[in-house]
Structure formats: C-alpha cells, structure tokens
Amino acid sequence: MEQQTKTWFITGASQGIGLVLVKQLLANGYNVAATARNLETLKQAVGNSSDQFLLLQMDLVNEESVGKAVDAAISHFKSIDFLVNNAGYGLIAGIEESSNKEVQAQFDVNVFGLH
C-alpha cells in the first residue's frame, strides 16, 4: 500500500520560524503550501520550485483571500494534514502611544486572523 505524503499549510512563511519550518519540511519530503503577502520574497527565500512546494499569496485579514489559498492547497495536494498559523507581527510601542488604527491592524492579524 502506498503511503500518502503529508501536507503542511503554513502562514507567514517568508521569514523567521515559518521560513525555517518550510525549508526543513521540504528537505524531509513533505508537501508544503506556504503563504505570504509577497510571493517574490517567499520564492527567493525558499529557493525551491518542486511540485511539493506551493507558494500562495494570502492576506490573513481577508476571508476571501484565505479561502482561495486553502482551496488552492487542497486542489494541488488533495488535503491539508497540518496547519501552522505563524503569520503575525509585533508593534513596538506602548498602547497609549499607538493609534487606534495601529492597534486594530495588529489585532486583525494576530488575534482575529487566526480563526
């Protein structure tokens, strides 16, 4: 019986922990659907163009964008076995120093974007 290769879906894959995880998983033979806001940055950072690697541009705070990325990953790999919600960012400022827009944007990505 042939064993199916497991598929990972990783958000925030163009730098940091997400990028390291993508590279390690690809090196170990897994399928990886990796998302980023900027595909060119992700493509250059990973340097892999195999059928096991699917680059996806995704805006975490846009439900339609997220849905399209998930659908594309399932269409390409037939399933998603593991999800790593790694996308996010820090705001280096005291809450009283931040504008409402800055705080809302951070919550949209780091809190609401994960559901």
Q: How many domains does the chain have?
A: 1
Global pTM reads: 0.85
| Per-residue tens of pLDDT for the chain, all 115 residues | 455 799 999 999 999 999 999 999 999 999 999 999 888 988 999 987 889 999 999 988 888 999 999 999 999 999 999 999 988 778 788 878 888 888 887 877 777 766 5
Domain containing residue 62: CATH number: 3.40.50.720
Q: Is residue 17 part of a domain?
A: yes
Domain interval for residue 16: 7-88
Q: Is residue 24 part of a domain?
A: yes
Asked whether 54 and 80 are in contact (CB, 8 A), the reply is no
Query: In degrees rounded to 5, what are phi and psi of residue 57?
Result: -85, 130
